[in-house]
Amino acid sequence: MKSAKTAIIHPKAKLAHSVEVGHYAVIDKDVAIGENTRIGHHCYITGNTAIGKNCRIFAGSIIGEIPQDLKFKGEKSFLKIGDNNVIREFVTINRGTKEGGGTTIVGKDNFIMAYVHIAHDCRIGNNTVISNAATFAGHVYIEDKATISGLVAIHQFVRVGKLAMIGGISRVMQDIPPYSLAVGQPASVVSLNSVGLKRANMSIEVRNILKRAIKILFKSGLSTAHAVEKVEEELPEIPEIAYLVDFVKSSKRGIAI
């Protein structure tokens, strides 16, 4: 381990040999950090927090603090962060609560920009992009390859689907379906996330089918139940359509139409 002389690292913290810790960083006793991870100056990493390999955590981030939840009474809870994450300046990520299963989870290969807040019991998938000052309340679930633009605020228990994109300064009160582009206050689906799907190397044939599905579900004026029936009846039975339909059917907060 390579650490600055001014860093404070608890002797019971478990840091891999190749971890680097910057000036004035503080790492508490129940923290475990994997190989080749770099901790920037003035970071504070605390609680039962496990951080994977090859992560880069920039200056001033506070990782693993207790939940900002009045129901939290000091019970043991956890934060798990996977490999290859970039966490920029002044990000805050809180541990879980008993009500939410006890663990906040951040997957792998995520790009989390400055001033993002990820509250208790959130689940962040893999390969997401979360832009500056986005704020997630507790129990938010962000699926793989979603993109969250700057200054987005997401309500508790909202789910954002795979390869969805939310435009900047949006207020998200309900679930954002996969493959869609949503924006507004409150946010609503405006179209297919065409650029994101193209960048993900999704074929034009599948993109065109999904475009038709998004129009039926969110622009046809049909009720959600009738729109789902129409999609199932008229569009090919491909995995992407099955996933989209299942997401809409299983939504607990309702879809941001």
Catalytic positions are 120-121, 138
88 CB-side CA count, 13 A: 13
- CB neighbours of 79 closer than 8 A, spacing ≥ 6? 47, 48, 49, 50, 63, 64, 93, 94, 95, 96, 103, 104, 105, 106
Do 190 and 211 touch, CB atoms closer than 8 A?
Answer: no
Closest by CA to 45, choosing from 73, 84, 70, 79, is 79
Q: Which amino acid is at 192?
A: L
Task: Give the CA dihedral 120, 33, 131, 246, nearest 10 degrees.
Answer: -60
Q: Give the integer Cα–Cα distance in Å for 230 and 235.
A: 8
Paired strand residues for 244: none
Q: Give the integer Cα–Cα distance in Å for 122 and 224.
A: 27
